[in-house]
Chains A and B, each alone.
Chain A
């Protein structure tokens, strides 16, 4: 065969020296990623970013791995205040965010590990808690309600010399953490311990003291600022025929409170729970312990649209609770003043469950019904003419940034601010409100928030040694062991989850990918040898021609399709003017890119978010 290739018309002069022309002043058209902003690396730590209180998850997991349970506990406490409580009850926004869940099937059991730290810490941690000065600063703060938000405010302000008074309508502190979370999920001793740490700082707590008039408190209390952390204590009702014709129809959160304080000790055999949020899960599981035999949770929509956390659904089903989907309550059936059951419309939903069509109407027998369809704030005790404006839903107008309402000096947080959330959000509201209250009392600006800072520290210990466990561990998520069904139903307060064993803990901690150990790139050092690109197990890295992000994302070693995850673009590389691009999405932080880099252009650096708290500007926060 005769091979023939014609001569190209492109001269060498026109083309230059191919794609490798060395340029001294390469002008980059698109600005490189700004990694000096703490938010960039913070976002890479998905769990910490997703946590409302920005708990430093990877660091506490490493401390647990080293057996430093007390240190892990204290690190947790700094941001989320209630590690023992949250280690059992948190809504875990961190876990769906966890990078591990994208790399394999399931995220790291972050919440369970938090409990490990709380369970195994030293009993006496008093010397480690923030010191409260004996000499007060003369400012008095009132907190309404002794729930997580108010307690966090007290926790943050007491060490600064404030005098904090908490008004609680019940005889015990804790708010919904105590009255609504059943004791088989959250033992009383854990509550007492962690709330006690705060109250023991010298908080003036007034039990059995519901505030009946905000005006009176503001006028006569002599407080410099007031924080409203009274929660969302009103359970939503279901106004359908028959609702008020039987005394066996309960409002979920009220019923749980009655159970928590021993006013209700039993329930009928056939129980229907209306609603499918986490309160519904607590109601059905509590029913199972109070005599309920045939318990059904009735949901209007398909399972994918449930509000309850998946793990709470699983736990309920393990206890033989039936979850019935696509049933909308129509009426209560009452004969001779006795509840017989309920009528439901059976629905068929369209693909995204926005429209339904009626199939038929069915009767489901029941001896008791618990309504768990949501809750809302209730402020009958706040006069409407004292400068606190309310919206049409009856909620105070609260500034999202400063947590102050329209009356200066009055702050809101937790469920009282914008409706029901969860404990970890209440804690973060408390932190932010404390910053505002401190600024307010000191005459500083509320809108200029103290900035976040960061520390980056190289973890390099040797040529191929790192100050963290960098090898990828293939262990699968450890399954929490539960007390046997028969055993757990004997008593209301038997904690169902037994906590991780030492072996489970040892395996689970190694699943953490150490996302806070960041891949940090120094453009000037790079010789473009491709070593990092070749070794990366998950195709994170690419050296390519510069371009806009949307374009770059399509021409990487693996297309960067997860738009929620950033791509890290360097400045123009010294030899060819191309750019180094890292897709953060699936990086397992194994450090091999840095190990293979001959010039240490890549380094693994531990990121520490310096989060501001009341009284401590960011730059002074100790890591």
Chain B
């Protein structure tokens, strides 16, 4: 953390986006996290994503629970709506907010404790409903805020700062999400924004629940030798399966690409994601194959990254529930509350 604020002085080459805002306008308060925390890097990636996607800050709702990760929404987009919920309840609050106003752009930031321990149930149900939101897990494999205990995502064999070895199997958010039927699952690394920013962009454009698990080393409690979530370990074992780039312009995909070269895949809103295959035989649309491949990699200790699974045909919550088109605040009061006569009529239908 710092005493001084980030100076307001700007580089003259900063370009405004379509809204006339520069990337600095998407910043938030100064971070109070430890110097070098991966979470701050993810924050920077989020800032860049929203700036580059020309999203108006007041159309964004940022939600979080409890933990180091859950402090981070304060550090980006000061002009957005925000809700810092009870521990593990971010997914539940996001479901409620989204149900009431489907027009906002929802981004939830959570950690391995908030999402995989206390909040795992809520996470599974948000996935099941295919809630339209970007859900980021800042995964550092440690309870940093309470001084470094093993978390639910600590790998078997990973050592704590004091040298104890973890023996319990981890919950892998990626495997959980895919097996729960998630429609968009990706994994990034806080130390690689070139990969992370396109993943976040694609996730925001995906209509439905987009889970991005981001390995985010805890410099204070989990960046030592023997940790499997350190900067060194992650760099050594990260295995990019696909190199993807988000293309916002809607373009008809008519060209067929030869094997091994760039391919583009169209998202529901006409924007595209361009892939370049890295790993052999990897098809991010084949759930069965993806699950098998990821389980195999989990055993090998490699950390597959990139857009791991995507299903653009999944139906999101509002479509499933056939709700009204816009936010509830736009529905006239007479429609929201048709009066006692209408209630009486409805009640009589059940008698």
Q: Is the CB of A7 within 8 A of B259?
A: yes
Nearest B-chain residue to A598, judged by Cβ: B36
A530-547 at interface with B (beta carbon < 8 Å): 530-531, 533-535, 537-539
Residues of A within 8 A of B147 (CB): none
Nearest B-chain residue to A474, judged by Cβ: B8
How far apart are the CA atoms of A11 and B260 in the complex, in Å? 10
How far apart are the CA atoms of A258 and B285 in the complex, in Å? 93
Interface pick from B49-57, B150-158, B173-181, B233-241: B233-241
How far apart are the CA atoms of A455 and B200 in the complex, in Å? 46
Nearest A-chain residue to B44, judged by Cβ: A534
Q: Is the CB of A4 within 8 A of B4?
A: no
Q: Is the CB of B277 within 8 A of A531?
A: no
B40: min CB distance to chain A, Å: 6
Residues of B within 8 A of A590 (CB): 4, 7
B344 within 8 Å of A by Cβ? no
A-side interface mostly = loop
Nearest B-chain residue to A543, judged by Cβ: B191
Q: With contacts A17-B238, A22-B236, A530-B191 known, is A539 near B285, CB below 8 A? A: no
Residues of A within 8 A of B239 (CB): 12, 17-18
How far apart are the CA atoms of A533 and B11 in the complex, in Å? 14
Residues of B within 8 A of A474 (CB): 8
How far apart are the CA atoms of A576 and B238 in the complex, in Å? 12
Nearest B-chain residue to A583, judged by Cβ: B11
B150: min CB distance to chain A, Å: 21
Nearest A-chain residue to B8, judged by Cβ: A474
Q: Is the CB of B277 within 8 A of A5?
A: yes
Query: Which one of A12, A527, A586 lies within 8 Å of B279 (CB-CB)?
Result: A12
Q: Is the CB of A3 within 8 A of B285?
A: yes
Interface pick from A40-48, A311-319, A464-472: A464-472
B-side interface mostly = loop
Q: Is the CB of B38 within 8 A of A529?
A: yes
Q: With contacts A17-B239, A529-B36, A529-B38 known, is A6 near B259, CB below 8 A? A: yes
A8 within 8 Å of B by Cβ? yes
Q: Is the CB of B277 within 8 A of A596?
A: no
Nearest B-chain residue to A539, judged by Cβ: B11
Nearest B-chain residue to A9, judged by Cβ: B260
How far apart are the CA atoms of A586 and B9 in the complex, in Å? 10
How big is the B interface, by class? 35 or more
Residues of A within 8 A of B259 (CB): 6-9
A264 within 8 Å of B by Cβ? no
Q: With contacts A464-B3, A592-B2, A597-B35 known, is A5 near B236, CB below 8 A? A: no
Q: Is the CB of A527 within 8 A of B35?
A: no
A20 within 8 Å of B by Cβ? yes
Q: With contacts A6-B263, A596-B2 known, is A22 near B232, CB below 8 A? A: yes
How far apart are the CA atoms of A20 and B260 in the complex, in Å? 21
How far apart are the CA atoms of A550 and B192 in the complex, in Å? 24
Interface string of A563-594 (1 = CB under 8 A from B): 00000000000011000000000101010100
Q: Is the CB of B11 within 8 A of A11?
A: no
A10 within 8 Å of B by Cβ? yes
How far apart are the CA atoms of A107 and B260 in the complex, in Å? 54
B312 within 8 Å of A by Cβ? yes
How far apart are the CA atoms of A20 and B215 in the complex, in Å? 14
Query: Which one of A3, A17, A21, A534 lies within 8 Å of B43 (CB-CB)?
Result: A534
How far apart are the CA atoms of A9 and B262 in the complex, in Å? 12
Residues of B within 8 A of A597 (CB): 35-36
Q: Is the CB of B231 within 8 A of A529?
A: yes
How far apart are the CA atoms of A523 and B192 in the complex, in Å? 19
Residues of A within 8 A of B257 (CB): 6
Residues of A within 8 A of B263 (CB): 5-6
A104 within 8 Å of B by Cβ? yes
How far apart are the CA atoms of A81 and B236 in the complex, in Å? 59
List A residues at the B interface (Cβ < 8 Å). Answer: 1-12, 15, 17-22, 103-104, 464-465, 470-472, 474, 527-531, 533-535, 537-539, 558-559, 561, 575-576, 586, 588, 590, 592, 595-599
List B residues at the A interface (Cβ < 8 Å). Answer: 1-14, 24, 34-38, 40-41, 43-44, 190-193, 217, 219-220, 223, 231-232, 234-240, 242, 257, 259-260, 263, 265-266, 268, 275-285, 310-313
Ranked nearest first, the 4 interchain pairs of A and B with the lowest CB-CB distance are: A8-B277, A598-B36, A472-B7, A20-B235
